Every structure is written in structure tokens, then in C-alpha cells.
């Protein structure tokens, strides 16, 4: 795993915490309200910041969606004298940090290590799968968000965009096809997209609208 640890200081629900990660699969366990989703959203924002056109602080705002798009609202709200928050994400090669106060507007945080992060992590790809299934409601969602009719954080918009990408092509397409076949067998069909709507097509049978597919199968079909 390219991310080795994340450090929080006065950020959302965290006072001061360092979380190390092991190689392979990491599992976050804990009661509701401890910040598990916050950890994953920060990691996702940092991974997305490996792209030259994505800012760590802006992506953080877009995945958390605080009022007025103000990153300052992500400072820990506990009554103390510390009005400054700091987040650092560390990989085995480099690190990126952002610092801001409760008076910081928009995503105007101070970012350090950005150039090194982009250079060293340029080959990194990441996907965030929200707990709530969204593909059954994907139709026109992106357009509605752009028009300001509804508001969703970027984790929902990004997973819809990722689900539309054809991953069956590429240099490792044979390896991907092996896993795709396994997932299709479990989900009993193949996912297709037509006019911005997602469907599951079970073999030679007629395609099913995603919202008519069992909730558990939707999770597998998304993969």
C-alpha cells in the first residue's frame, strides 16, 4: 500500500491522532461517530491529489462538503484554544500536508509537499465506494449537481464516473477479465450503461434496471 500513515491534529472529530497502515488490506473498526469515514475521505482526497489538476485541500472540501465550501469548518469544534488544524498523509516515498484555521475560507489551506507528492505518486489510482449505493440513482445526477438542484459530495460523483469506464481494455486486460468474470458470475449478470442509466443483464435475459436488482448484488455489480 503506498500510504503508510495519516496524521490528524485538531481535524473534525480528531484531537491528535496518528494512524499507521500495513501493507495489503487495512480494516477500520469502531463505533459510529469515531471518524472512520473521515479517515477514508482524507486518504481518498490525498490519492486524488496525485493528479496535477487536483488540489488536496479542494478535494477535501469536495468530499466533505462543509457549508459555504469552507475548509475552516473542518477544524475540531471542541472548546479549546487551538483553532488550527493540520492533516498529513505519508507514503513510503513522500508526504503531503495541509494546515488551516477555523477562519480559512474556501479551500485556501497551506499545502506543503504538493510537487513531490504529484511526482512520486503520479501512477497512483484510487476509488472510493460510498456505503450508500448510488448507481440506481445515477441518471442525470451529474447534471443536476452542476445545475445546483441537488448536492452530493464528490465520492458519489466520482464512483459514477468510474463505473462508466470500460476497464476490459489495456495491457493487463487478460488479468482484469479473469476477475471481471468472477464478479459477473457472483452478480449473475453484466453491468451495462444506456442513456446514463445502469442496468444488470443476466445472460440472455432482458436487462434489469439497477434499482430492481437486490441490494447485495448491486454492491458486487458495482465492483
Question: Is pTM beyond 0.75 here?
Answer: yes
Stretch 68-88: mean pLDDT, rounded? 91
Q: Residue 1: is its pLDDT beyond 60?
A: no
- Cβ contacts of residue 184 below 8 Å, gap of 6+? 190
Q: What sign does the dihedral 113-116-120-121 (CA atoms) show?
A: positive
> Model confidence over 180-190: pLDDT tens digits?
888 888 888 88
Cell of 198: 445502469
Distance CA 114, CA 119 (A): 9
pLDDT confidence band for 176 (50 / 70 / 90): confident
Domains present along the chain, CATH in parentheses:
3-120 (3.40.50.300), 135-222 (no CATH)
- Give ∠ CA 159-57-1 in degrees, rounded to 5: 60
Q: What percent of the chain has pLDDT over 70?
A: 96
Query: Average of pLDDT values for 153-166?
Result: 87
Question: What average pLDDT does the segment 64-75 reach?
Answer: 96
Nearest CA among 101, 8, 103 for reference residue 46: 8
Cell triple for 147: 445545475
Query: In sequence order, what are the beta bridge partners of 112?
Result: 97
Give the mean model confidence (pLDDT) for residues 118-146.
85
Average pLDDT over residues 191-198: 83
**Residue from 91, 150, 87 nearest 126 by CA:** 91
The model's confidence at residue 85, banded by pLDDT at 50, 70 and 90, is very high
Residue 35 to residue 24: CA distance in whole angstroms: 21
| Contact of 209 with 221, CB cutoff 8 Å | no
Query: Could you give phi then psi for residue 177, rounded to 5 degrees?
Result: -60, -35
| Segment (H or E) for 191 | strand 190-194
Residues facing 7 on adjacent strands: 18, 88
Would you state the pLDDT for residue 168?
A: 59
Amino acid at each position: 500500500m503506498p500510504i503508510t500513515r495519516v496524521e490528524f491534529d485538531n481535524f473534525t472529530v480528531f484531537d491528535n491522532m496518528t494512524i499507521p497502515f500495513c501493507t495489503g488490506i487495512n480494516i477500520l473498526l469502531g463505533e459510529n461517530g469515531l471518524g472512520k469515514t473521515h479517515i477514508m475521505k482524507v486518504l481518498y482526497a490525498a490519492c486524488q491529489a496525485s493528479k496535477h489538476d487536483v488540489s488536496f485541500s479542494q478535494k477535501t472540501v469536495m468530499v466533505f462538503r462543509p457549508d459555504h465550501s469552507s475548509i475552516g469548518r473542518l477544524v475540531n469544534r471542541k472548546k479549546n484554544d487551538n483553532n488550527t488544524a493540520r492533516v498529513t498523509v505519508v507514503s513510503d516515498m513522500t508526504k503531503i500536508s495541509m494546515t488551516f484555521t477555523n477562519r480559512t475560507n474556501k479551500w485556501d489551506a497551506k499545502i506543503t509537499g504538493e510537487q513531490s507528492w504529484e511526482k512520486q505518486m503520479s501512477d497512483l489510482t484510487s476509488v472510493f465506494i460510498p456505503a450508500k449505493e448510488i448507481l440506481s440513482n445515477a441518471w442525470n445526477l451529474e447534471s443536476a449537481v452542476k445545475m445546483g438542484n441537488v448536492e452530493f459530495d464528490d465520492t458519489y460523483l466520482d464512483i459514477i464516473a468510474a463505473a462508466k469506464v470500460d476497464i476490459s481494455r489495456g495491457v493487463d486486460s487478460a488479468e482484469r477479465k479473469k476477475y471481471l468474470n468472477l464478479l459477473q458470475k457472483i452478480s449473475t449478470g453484466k453491468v451495462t450503461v444506456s442513456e446514463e442509466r445502469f442496468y444488470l443483464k443476466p445472460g440472455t435475459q432482458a436487462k434489469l434496471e439497477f434499482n430492481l436488482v437486490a441490494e447485495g448484488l448491486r454492491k458486487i455489480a458495482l465492483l
